[in-house]
Structure 1
Amino acid sequence: MKFAYRFSNLLGTVYRCGNLNFTCDGNSVISPVGNRVTVFDLKNNRSDTLPLATKYNIKCVGLSPDGRLAIIVDEGGDALLVSLVCRSVLHHFHFKGSVHSISFSPDGRKFVVTKGNIAQMYHAPGKKREFNAFVLDKTYFGPYDETTCIDWTDDSKCFVVGSKDMSTWVFGAERWDNLIYYALGGHKDAIVACFFESNSLDLYSLSQDGALCVWQCDTPPEGLKPKAPRGWKADLLQREKEEEEEEEDEEEGNRETTIRGKAMPAEQEKAGKVKYSRLAKYFLNKEGDFNNLTAAAYHKKIHLLVTGFASGVFHLHELPEFNLIHSLSISDQRVASVAINSSGDWIAFGCSGLGQLLVWEWQSESYVLKQQGHFNSMVSLAYSPDGQYIVTGGDDGKVKVWNTLSGFCFVTFTEHSSGVTGVTFTATGYVIVTSSLDGTVRAFDLHRYRNFRTFTSPRPTQFSCVAVDSSGEIVSAGAQDSFEIFVWSMQTGRLLDVLSGHEGPISGLCFNPMKSILASASWDKTVRLWDMFDSWRTKETLALTSDALAVTFRPDGAELAVATLNSQITFWDPENAVQMGSIEGRHDLKTGRKELDKITAKHSAKGKAFTTLCYSADGQNILAGGMSKFVCLYHVREQILVKRFELSCNLSLDAMEEFLNRRKMTEFGNLALIDQDAGEENGVAVPLPGVRKGDMSSRHFKPEIRVTSLRFSPTGRCWAATSTEGLLIFSLDAQMLFDPFELDTSVTPGRIREALRQREFTRAILMAFRLNERKLAQEVLEAVPQDEIDVVSASLPELYVEKVLEFLAASFEVSRHLEFYLIWTQKLLMSHGQRLKSRAGQLLPVVQFLQKGLQRHLDDVSKLCDWNRYNIQYALAISKQRGVKRTLEPLDTEEDTDTSDDDSLHLLRTAAEEEEEEGMLA
């Protein structure tokens, strides 16, 4: 239960590659992020990552018409059938080849995948449990090159497939007599998208050079005729008909069957085949060859065509007249995917180059969602003191702040001109301090969202780490090149001192949470402790056996942990400078073998080590991560590995497997040495220095899996890690776990409810928390009358106070009974506050968990109160300004009453209109 951390959400990256989809209600966007899928709820402003992962990066996602099922296919051809209702995998399948696109039929009975130069139609999985959910129905041949896109008619009778050989193929989903297949040309480049018109066989085809062809069909969908069966099926049907007609009338039946049998071929000859003719050809691309069409989407009901280009521009056209509605630019990167929601109001764009996801409302020309991850890898992270926010810094020089509840980034600071190396919060939680390779340390204000302090050194230097003391007054940063530690004052921004003594680059800084003592780790195999109050002199020097890579204090300041280059974690007593223990973590790290490594993973692990450390909220455990896909959780006192978490299983990243595939090893060397992906989209392009954009001198590489930073939440309920995959959050999954506390046979739900009926509230609470079922504990606590909370809370044993406080903290996030739980919290803290001080270190996570829930409600309610107060003041000011005084006079007749009512209504209406006009002017 204590270590039941499970993957809960993925932040930091919002789109990687693949196609975007809107859910059926049009309120959520389904976005593939690497080998995971994130659902962005635009109505409730939340993001949620599904608890599943594929082997490679996701190539395409197909959504069923009812929105309950999704088929997720990765680059290797492995497919997952996923239920979006219960968020679980129902079936695994392998398509035996790379799949380019996938699409369900509108009736939900079949789906088509394009693979190589063929299209395969499968029976869609039903609602019943099946041994094989994917059954191949037909395989369609025709194109000579790779197939690229699919679209269905509204009645699911036909579908169209585009190809890189510049042709578009219309296929019948069933056996039609007048349509088997139809090939359309007319383009000079690869087909990017093709769409049927609503309730028609007319279609549009778009090619990469920006050409749009409008095709008209001479046959309506109702004109498609089923093909007559042949062979043994035809003989069987004919025999059945003859037997039925013989029963009615033997002689007449025989004549009719012979006449019908002779007439059928003549009717087939008269029936014409389906024919297409090109009505028009338009050109979307006005900028030449460098602006290829990359993505398109079409809404059939409102006839809206959206096209995205390689330059980041997108156009909105109305078809079939081809009227340009508007043209805008997202960025300078290619638009990789476009999707339109069911109502046609919102358009989603994905840019894989920037990792950007936009949802645009085209009628009001405003953003519904605008999210972008770090362009390069994230380097560092920090939790706010209440656990509501996470700040991340990346190699792209950006500092982003994420809301842990919604999963969205709400502010980005771009003042740094080079990579950010360290981020941290001050104790108040409203100031972020960051260090960068551009030679500056900056402080950002979360109230006004501005950079209010910039700390610099006398001579230019690159800062590798940053730390702020518990009071928030002293800022320190370590230098990579001058081996010095710079200390500034937060109030004045002036440089206070420069601490010299280290003989190698500073790799980590950490302040003691309880005292004003700074610990600095360096590559010179020492950790130095500096006293901030005693003239900044060196208090102690801890000698290590290898280069120090990371240093951190325990939350109570009584212990220091240091990670070194020989994969060891050593624990020190900072007061006496005595080593208290060490952990050998080389075998626990389990590094993988890169594609270009000459030696095995076992030998390459000798050069790998933990590069980031973090104590748990109670200080009993420590998290460690480094150049590996694993994060290790150790018990500090016992010095044993408690649990190992695998951050990713994505084989699209490098150094994921322990052994290389022998098929890649040839007599000429490793196939990975040959840059086969230079012309493809996958991989990350690294242009050579001084090379212009569009030049062929760019290299491609696979990103290597690594963990750059780890942090426990102050509440102790979750921890976060920045890795190549993004910002991964692991939280305690305590919903389905039965974890009783001091349980015996006398504790049952029946006896708990019986104690409630007898108004023995204290006994009922104790029994409920021994059984440790959340719903039962909620029922018992809410059954206590408000006037008896004081007495009941005072009578609780100290051991159970912590459990009740933890339950209250969790209830603040979901319950509506805010005042009732606030009374419980106040009475418990007032009754047991003095006794709980002795266990302040153990209770710190619970108190911070409480503070997180209270702070969130305070922010929400205070905004609402400020808004109401402003409205009331505005209404009072308007009424005083006008000096409107109404006097009600006694009226004699009904007619007078009616007219006065009309006049008063008229006055009220005019006053309301004037208020509205003034409000609009304001």
Structure 2
Amino acid sequence: MKFAYRFSNLFGAVYRQGNLSFSKDGNSVVSPVGNRISVFDLKNNKSETLPVSTTKNITCVGLSPDGNLAILVDEDGAALLVSLITRAVLHHFHFHKPVSSIRFSPDGRKFIVTKENVALMYHAPGKQREFNAFVLDKSYYGPYDETTCIDWTDDSKCFVVGSKDMSTWVFGAERWANLIYYSLGGHKDVIVGCFFEKDSLDLYTVSQDGTLCVWESNTELDGLVLHKRTSQREEEDDEEQRDEGEDGEPRGEVIRGKAEAPKDEGKTKNVRYKQMSKHKRHHKHKSNVFFSKNHYFHVVPCSISDQRIASVAMNSSGDWIGFGCSGLGQLLVWEWQSESYVFKQQGHFNNMASLAYSPDGQYIVTGGDDGKVKVWNTNSGLCFVTFTEHTSSVTNVTFTSSGFVIVSASLDGTARAYDLHRYRNFRTFTSPRPAQFSSLAVDVSGELVSAGAQDSFEIFIWSMQTGRLLEVLGGHEGPVSCLCFSPVQSILASSSWDRTVRLWDMNDSWQTKETLRLTSDGLSVSYRPDGQELAVATLDGEISFWNPHTATQTGSIVGRHDLQMGRKETDKITAKQSAKGKSFTSLCYSADGESVLAGGQSKFVCIYNVKEQILLKKFEISCNLSFDAMEEFLDRRKMTEFGSLALVDEGAGDGDGVHLSLPGVKRGDMSSRHFKPEIRVSSLRFSPTGRSWAATTTEGLLVYSLDSSLVFDPYDLDLDVTPASIRKQLRLQEWAAAIVLAFRLNERALTQEVLETVPHKEISVVCGSLPDVYVEKLLGFVAASLERSGHLQFYLTWAQTLLMLHGQKLKNRSGAILPTLQALQKSIQKHFDDLSKLCDFNMYNIRYAVALSKQRGMKRAAEEEGEEEDEEEEEELLSEGMSEASLEDVGVAL
């Protein structure tokens, strides 16, 4: 139960490819992210990645009109029916071919799927449970080339399909007597958009060259007439048409369109279209198009982003437009009326290299190969600041102990410090000679910054206050791979490729305190949170544990076989042989120091118990076959008589078809026409609260957390510990006994009910009478409840009373309860930030109201003063004996 971590969220990737979709209310946008989908709540400024995934990258997403269901289709045509309410997979299906587009009908009863040159209409799944949720109704053939886009009429009676053969086809969803199919031409390029007008059969079609054609129908939607079967022969013809496809599945009723329009039957006139106008837009770049039926306008976006826009969508009200840019991994939501961004997020352009948690666990900072440093909010899942000062890959990032300063190291030869109050780069640390920094560490006080060079084998120490270089530590005979400061004293541990770990004393003339000899090259080093143990990952796949005070090895774990490397397409050896040369490249202790988290060039992340030196759990971070090195064995479908298809050089003559990369190339090769990124874990960190851990991978920043609502973990359970007995103690007002029983049963909802039943004035008495073993449990529960509860003063009173009454006992076990205190600090800090913003807003409003009232008071005083002067003048004139007529003349003059 302790390691029941589940996938929680995905940061750092907001859009990859496929189509964007808005929710029914228009406040959320659904974006495909690799083989997952993310839901971005624009109103509450939060993001959530669903815990469902396809086997390959998603290319199409179809959203039901009520927003409860989504159909996800990957590159191979495998589909998942997902409930957006329960976040669960309801049905698996395979279309056997790549799908170009998918669209639900407005009434939600059917949906259209287009693949190759056919449009397939399925019955949408209903509320009743069915063995087959996708039932094929009709197959529509008409275009000669691949289909590109779909649109429905508002009453779901007809739909239109655009194609690459420059034609547009209108089909009837039912067997209409006057509309079976209709073909429209008039374009000279691929159709990229086709749209029905609101409550009409009139059409707009747009081609890739920017040509817009407006088509008018001679029939209204109410004029469609149902077809009546007149003979037995027609029914026999229908049965003949219900044949089976190439894959053996029934194709339902088959409707084959022809170039010429169908003939009129009897007195019923067929629906016909007439081209009313044609507009040409002159531009050089390919463009996307969308249409709002509420506002009747078209937009062809060209200059919203620097890169080509891959997908466009508009919300139901027509106010917001969503843009997805696959080249940059960017997602934009634009409000066209105010010409401003509602939402603008972008992940790292290249791979993420490292991450670090803030001391309270509220923020995560990441550094990437694109030279950017991004800070993410763990509650909302969104990036709120990006630093772009580095000119090369960022190799390491970390927070200082205060949590308000971020330090990063880069291959550009600089280490930089950023202020999270003013969002600026306030320190830049450089070396006397240019060096590429591959590792970074900041001491507990935040005063010393150290960075290791991979070319000069030196370690540089700077002062955070002055920015001056204090010392250059030499002694390593290979690149410095990792640095780590002790959490309790000023000692720096450095691992290197020279098979040593050196401990440097920062207080004693920067001298080497100890040298630990390793069996292989050191790749990563990490201190236990209490500073009493050191873990080192080496190139031979081992994790060794050392006592830093005595410089003796206390244990080791052979983890090479736990990595389970996959076989790359171009590998000529098996995955088992390849795994012998692999190792863990990132290490991290858990918050309580009892276990260690390890990851490397594999899709697996392992958790080991340090004391027992055994594997506790393995996490498979991805099942996406669009990445390389995912499968352990070769795919037989890709094997030829000459060997693997990936190793066959098909372009020996002109070199156009070469798929082999140059030796040593890891990311992309200009000589290669095809590239699949390799799955790997570059960095791992446990949250200071101990409730979650994060990993930077090829997919992005994955966050795994404990879902306490799904875990039943009773403590000291007995037959008498039941919900009925707990509520009986509540009725007897035995508050302490009820709390103890609730924690023994360990049901969150029941514990919350008991706690919130206790009167406010009885909290101090209850806290004083609790046994010691339940004090920590209650403190942890209060910390978790405070994060999401609205009863701030109530839970803060619990936390304060527990800490005041049991502070000394908790201090003696500070190492064990540190994650609980970190979680409490995170919850309090979150509410402090929210309330401070609200108070500032209210304070400025009050100041404005006071200033406004003062201004009005001064104006009113001036008016009253003017009236008094007028009355005095009247009295003076009356005293001089002037008549009323002359008084009126004076009034007019005034």
TM over 0.5: yes
**Which residue of the partner structure matches residue 294 of structure 2?**
301
C-alpha contact (below 8 Å) 2:659/2:672 kept by paired residues: no
C-alpha contact (below 8 Å) 2:56/2:75 kept by paired residues: yes
After alignment, is 780-789 or 524-533 more displaced?
A: 780-789
> 1:170/1:758 Cα in 2 relative to 1: closer, same or farther (>3 Å)?
same
Shift of the alpha carbon at 1:607?
Answer: 1.5
**Which residue of the partner structure matches residue 557 of structure 1?**
531
2:165 matched to 1:165?
A: yes
> 1:181/1:671 Cα in 2 relative to 1: closer, same or farther (>3 Å)?
same
User: Per the alignment, in what secondary structure is the counterpart of residue 93 of structure 2?
Assistant: strand
**Which residue of the partner structure matches residue 751 of structure 2?**
777
**Which residue of the partner structure matches residue 910 of structure 1?**
none
Shift of the alpha carbon at 1:870?
Answer: 3.3
2:773 matched to 1:799?
A: yes
Q: Which of residues 689, 700, 717 in structure 2 aligns to 1:715? A: 689
Instruction: Find the aligned partners of 1:139 and 1:658 in 2 and give their Cα distance.
Output: 39
> 1:150/1:686 Cα in 2 relative to 1: closer, same or farther (>3 Å)?
farther
Q: Which of residues 427, 436, 453 in structure 1 aligns to 2:410? A: 436
User: Per the alignment, in what secondary structure is the counterpart of residue 546 of structure 1?
Assistant: coil
Deviations 1:495-523 (A, max 9, x none): 00000000010100000000100000101
Q: Which of residues 533, 545, 566 in structure 2 aligns to 1:592? A: 566
Instruction: Find the aligned partners of 2:347 and 2:110 in 1 and give their Cα distance.
Output: 36
C-alpha contact (below 8 Å) 2:642/2:648 kept by paired residues: no
Instruction: Find the aligned partners of 1:235 and 1:757 in 2 and give their Cα distance.
Output: 73
**Which residue of the partner structure matches residue 408 of structure 1?**
382
Instruction: Find the aligned partners of 1:200 and 1:103 in 2 and give their Cα distance.
Output: 19
> 1:142/1:487 Cα in 2 relative to 1: closer, same or farther (>3 Å)?
same
Instruction: Find the aligned partners of 2:103 and 2:837 in 1 and give their Cα distance.
Output: 45
Shift of the alpha carbon at 1:107?
Answer: 1.4
2:324 matched to 1:350?
A: yes
2:850 matched to 1:857?
A: no
Q: Which of residues 517, 523, 529 in structure 1 aligns to 2:491? A: 517
Amino acid at match of 2:362: Q
What does 1:753-792 align with in structure 2 at a 5 Å threshold? 753-792=727-766
Shift of the alpha carbon at 1:43?
Answer: 0.8
**Which residue of the partner structure matches residue 602 of structure 1?**
576
Shift of the alpha carbon at 1:669?
Answer: 4.2
- Please, what is the CA RMSD of the aligned residues? 2.2
Shift of the alpha carbon at 1:867?
Answer: 2.8
User: Per the alignment, in what secondary structure is the counterpart of residue 750 of structure 2?
Assistant: helix
Instruction: Find the aligned partners of 2:202 and 2:672 in 1 and give their Cα distance.
Output: 43
Instruction: Find the aligned partners of 1:825 and 1:46 in 2 and give their Cα distance.
Output: 28
> 1:629/1:116 Cα in 2 relative to 1: closer, same or farther (>3 Å)?
same
**Which residue of the partner structure matches residue 286 of structure 2?**
292
**Which residue of the partner structure matches residue 275 of structure 1?**
272
**Which residue of the partner structure matches residue 260 of structure 2?**
none
Deviations 1:189-244 (A, max 9, x none): 111111111111111111111111111222222222222214438899xxxxxxxx
**Which residue of the partner structure matches residue 506 of structure 2?**
532
> 1:267/1:204 Cα in 2 relative to 1: closer, same or farther (>3 Å)?
closer
**Which residue of the partner structure matches residue 252 of structure 1?**
none
**Which residue of the partner structure matches residue 919 of structure 1?**
none
Shift of the alpha carbon at 1:670?
Answer: 3.0
Amino acid at match of 1:300: K
**Identity, % of aligned positions:** 71
Instruction: Find the aligned partners of 1:753 and 1:220 in 2 and give their Cα distance.
Output: 66
Instruction: Find the aligned partners of 1:487 and 1:461 in 2 and give their Cα distance.
Output: 13
C-alpha contact (below 8 Å) 2:63/2:103 kept by paired residues: yes
**Which residue of the partner structure matches residue 196 of structure 1?**
196
Amino acid at match of 1:277: K
User: Per the alignment, in what secondary structure is the counterpart of residue 126 of structure 1?
Assistant: coil
Instruction: Find the aligned partners of 1:93 and 1:546 in 2 and give their Cα distance.
Output: 49
Instruction: Find the aligned partners of 2:72 and 2:503 in 1 and give their Cα distance.
Output: 53
C-alpha contact (below 8 Å) 1:418/1:437 kept by paired residues: yes
2:603 matched to 1:629?
A: yes
Instruction: Find the aligned partners of 1:629 and 1:338 in 2 and give their Cα distance.
Output: 33
What does 1:815-894 align with in structure 2 at a 5 Å threshold? 815-877=789-851, 879=853, 884=858
C-alpha contact (below 8 Å) 1:56/1:76 kept by paired residues: yes
2:2 matched to 1:6?
A: no
2:649 matched to 1:665?
A: no
C-alpha contact (below 8 Å) 2:437/2:452 kept by paired residues: yes
User: Per the alignment, in what secondary structure is the counterpart of residue 397 of structure 1?
Assistant: coil
Amino acid at match of 2:280: F
Q: Which of residues 613, 616, 623 in structure 2 aligns to 1:639? A: 613
C-alpha contact (below 8 Å) 1:306/1:338 kept by paired residues: no
Instruction: Find the aligned partners of 1:124 and 1:131 in 2 and give their Cα distance.
Output: 13
**Which residue of the partner structure matches residue 21 of structure 1?**
21
User: Per the alignment, in what secondary structure is the counterpart of residue 788 of structure 2?
Assistant: coil
Shift of the alpha carbon at 1:684?
Answer: 13
C-alpha contact (below 8 Å) 2:624/2:630 kept by paired residues: yes
Shift of the alpha carbon at 1:671?
Answer: 2.3
2:123 matched to 1:123?
A: yes
Instruction: Find the aligned partners of 2:322 and 2:554 in 1 and give their Cα distance.
Output: 56
Shift of the alpha carbon at 1:672?
Answer: 2.4
**Which residue of the partner structure matches residue 906 of structure 1?**
none
What does 1:96-245 align with in structure 2 at a 5 Å threshold? 96-232=96-232
> 1:876/1:106 Cα in 2 relative to 1: closer, same or farther (>3 Å)?
closer
C-alpha contact (below 8 Å) 2:411/2:436 kept by paired residues: yes
Shift of the alpha carbon at 1:526?
Answer: 0.5
Amino acid at match of 1:767: L
Amino acid at match of 2:119: A
Amino acid at match of 1:732: L
Instruction: Find the aligned partners of 2:814 and 2:592 in 1 and give their Cα distance.
Output: 10
> Unmatched 5+ residue regions in structure 1?
237-265, 314-328, 678-682, 689-694, 888-922
Amino acid at match of 1:194: C
C-alpha contact (below 8 Å) 1:684/1:702 kept by paired residues: no
> 1:97/1:849 Cα in 2 relative to 1: closer, same or farther (>3 Å)?
same
Shift of the alpha carbon at 1:876?
Answer: 4.0
> Unmatched 5+ residue regions in structure 2?
237-262, 652-657, 664-668, 862-894
Instruction: Find the aligned partners of 1:753 and 1:669 in 2 and give their Cα distance.
Output: 70
Instruction: Find the aligned partners of 2:171 and 2:294 in 1 and give their Cα distance.
Output: 23
User: Per the alignment, in what secondary structure is the counterpart of residue 674 of structure 2?
Assistant: strand
Instruction: Find the aligned partners of 2:474 and 2:855 in 1 and give their Cα distance.
Output: 67
User: Per the alignment, in what secondary structure is the counterpart of residue 332 of structure 2?
Assistant: strand
**Which residue of the partner structure matches residue 890 of structure 1?**
none
Shift of the alpha carbon at 1:792?
Answer: 1.3
C-alpha contact (below 8 Å) 1:686/1:699 kept by paired residues: no
User: Per the alignment, in what secondary structure is the counterpart of residue 708 of structure 2?
Assistant: coil
Instruction: Find the aligned partners of 2:461 and 2:645 in 1 and give their Cα distance.
Output: 51
User: Per the alignment, in what secondary structure is the counterpart of residue 165 of structure 1?
Assistant: coil
**Which residue of the partner structure matches residue 70 of structure 1?**
70
User: Per the alignment, in what secondary structure is the counterpart of residue 700 of structure 1?
Assistant: coil
User: Per the alignment, in what secondary structure is the counterpart of residue 266 of structure 2?
Assistant: helix
Amino acid at match of 1:183: S
After alignment, is 863-872 or 71-80 more displaced?
A: 863-872
Deviations 1:809-866 (A, max 9, x none): 0111111111011111111001100111111100000000000000011111122223
Deviations 1:76-117 (A, max 9, x none): 111111111111111100011111100111111111111111
C-alpha contact (below 8 Å) 1:70/1:81 kept by paired residues: yes
What does 1:335-734 align with in structure 2 at a 5 Å threshold? 335-673=309-647, 699-734=673-708
Shift of the alpha carbon at 1:379?
Answer: 0.5
Shift of the alpha carbon at 1:268?
Answer: 3.1
Amino acid at match of 1:281: K
Deviations 1:684-704 (A, max 9, x none): 99999xxxxxx9966331010
2:804 matched to 1:810?
A: no
Instruction: Find the aligned partners of 1:24 and 1:80 in 2 and give their Cα distance.
Output: 20
